[in-house]
C-alpha cells in the first residue's frame, strides 16, 4: 500500500520536473534519498554541501557511497508531494504533505512499540521563511520554526507519534 503511494508521489515528481538534467526516480532511489535526509537529522553539519566533503573533520562517507551529488540535488530540487490543482480549495495549512507525513508517522508507530518510559515533547524545526504557522519563541535558541508535538521514548528519543502545530489557519 505504501509503495503505491510512493509511486504516485514519484509520478507527480516526474510530471512537474521541467529540467533537461532530470531522469525518473526509482523507488529504490527514493528510499536512499529519504534515508540520507534522515541521516542529516542525526549527523549535524552547518551546510548541506559539507555532507559530501572529503576534508577530515567534515568527511561523512555514507553520503557519497549511497547517492551521487548530481543525483541527490535534482531529486531534492524537484521533490513535490501534492496536487497543485487542489491548492486553492483546501484550507488545511499542511495540505502539501499529508501523504508523506502519514507514511512516516505510521512507520514510526509500527516499527517500534514502546512498553514504558514515554514522554510528551515539543520540538522546533528551524524555519525562517514565510509560513503562516511559523512559531516565534524569543526564549529559545532556535527562535523561529515549525512546532512539532511528539510522543517519544524517554531513553532514546525515538518518536512514536507526532503532530505538526499549524496555528490558527
Residue 113 lies in a domain: yes
pTM: 0.61
- Full pLDDT tens readout for the chain, 169 residues: 567 776 776 666 665 455 556 788 999 999 999 899 888 888 888 877 778 777 777 778 888 888 888 888 889 888 887 777 766 556 777 877 888 888 889 998 888 888 888 899 888 888 877 888 888 888 888 888 888 999 998 888 888 889 988 876 4
Please give the C-alpha separations between residue 134 and each of 125, 144, 146, in angstroms, as whole numbers: 10, 7, 5
On whether both 30 and 59 belong to a single domain, the answer is yes
| 85 is a domain residue | no
Is 27 domain-assigned?
yes
Judge whether 5 and 99 are in contact, CB under 8 Å. Answer: yes
Give me the number of domains the chain comprises: 2
Domain assignment of residue 125, yes or no: yes
- Pair 102, 73 in one domain: no
Q: What separation in angstroms does the CA of 136 have from each of 32, 69, 147?
A: 33, 34, 9
Q: What is the pLDDT of residue 31?
A: 93
Specify whether 97 is located in the same domain as 125.
yes
**Within a domain: residue 87?**
no
Q: Which domain holds residue 119?
A: 92-164
Domain boundary among 58, 80, 102: 80
Amino acid at each position: 500500500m505504501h509503495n503505491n503511494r510512493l509511486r504516485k508521489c514519484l509520478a507527480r515528481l516526474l510530471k512537474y520536473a521541467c529540467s533537461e538534467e532530470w531522469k525518473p526516480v526509482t523507488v529504490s532511489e527514493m528510499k536512499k534519498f529519504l534515508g540520507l535526509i534522515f541521516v542529516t537529522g542525526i549527523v549535524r553539519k552547518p551546510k548541506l554541501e559539507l555532507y559530501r566533503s572529503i576534508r577530515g573533520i567534515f568527511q561523512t562517507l555514507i553520503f557519497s557511497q549511497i547517492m551521487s551529488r548530481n543525483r541527490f540535488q535534482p531529486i531534492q530540487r524537484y521533490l513535490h508531494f501534492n496536487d497543485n490543482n487542489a491548492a486553492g480549495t483546501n484550507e488545511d495549512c499542511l495540505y502539501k504533505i499529508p501523504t508523506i507525513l502519514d507514511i512516516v508517522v505510521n512507520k514510526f508507530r509500527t516499527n517500534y512499540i514502546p512498553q514504558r518510559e514515554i514522554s510528551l515533547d515539543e520540538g522546533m524545526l528551524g524555519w525562517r521563511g514565510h509560513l503562516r504557522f511559523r512559531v516565534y519563541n524569543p526564549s529559545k535558541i532556535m527562535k523561529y520554526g515549525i512546532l512539532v508535538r511528539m510522543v517519544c521514548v524517554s531513553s532514546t528519543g525515538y518518536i512514536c507519534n507526532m503532530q505538526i502545530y499549524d496555528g490558527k489557519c
